[in-house]
A and B are shown apart, each in its own frame.
Chain A
Amino acid sequence: GQGVEQPAKLMSVEGTFARVNCTYSTSGFNGLSWYQQREGQAPVFLSYVVLDGLKDSGHFSTFLSRSNGYSYLLLTELQIKDSASYLCAVRDLGSGYNKLTFGKGTVLLVSP
């Protein structure tokens, strides 16, 4: 079936890194986005990828493997304020409407 899967929770330590995984299945992949959502706030766009490989955007990097239906968001030099939910969203042409489907999100907790 079609869907977007993410682990529910992830814990890491300030100053280190965290990798948030996302697996998906679509009938017409047309790009994958990552959003950050803090408690009680709106999702905020972080990154968009459509080609395989690693896209380095400094504090955030994004990897995509279309053949494996897999992406990750890598956060380096973690800060306490990086604690948030990270949403993976896949654009699927197969639905006929170029629909954006979100995963349930991964809650990242960064501890001192």
Chain B
Amino acid sequence: EAGVTQSPRYAVLQEGQAVSFWCDPISGHDTLYWYQQPRDQGPQLLVYFRDEAVIDNSQLPSDRFSAVRPKGTNSTLKIQSAKQGDTATYLCASSPGVGNTLYFGEGSRLIVV
């Protein structure tokens, strides 16, 4: 069974540039999460979906971050006008329902200079 796939694995931006991260969850998992993990910190939830619906985006900086999951499968997280403080690894995870086990992708590491 294929795991959670994310791309790109790495991105280096200058402040003010935009980037999109893509996630393909495990087949059949209806719940998808995006976490931000700064270096030496734990993952912090940005947004999560059940199918195509946003369940919680209260921690998503809405002025510059957006996330979609239009068909309830793949998802895209976009950062517009990146700031140095956005430097982190962006982890995508999926689960069957709001399960107790999250399956994480390898992450997309973003460096903003």
Contacts and interface: CB of A to CB of B under 8 A. Distances in A.
Contacts of B43: 43, 87, 102
Contact of B56 (A35, A97, A105): A97
Given A48-B101, A97-B55, A102 B107 contact: no
Interface string A90-112: 01000101111111110000000
Main secondary structure of the interface of A (DSSP, over half): strand
Given A103-B42, A104-B40, A41 B98 contact: no
Nearest to A6: B42
A4 to B, nearest CB: 8
Interface residues of B, number: 23
A23 interface: no
Contacts of A100: 33, 45, 102
A41 B104 CA distance: 9
A35 to B, nearest CB: 8
Nearest to A50: B100
Contact of A43 (B48, B58, B104): B104
Contacts of B40: 104-105
B44 interface: yes
B106 interface: yes
Given A41-B106, A42-B106, A97-B56, A48 B100 contact: yes
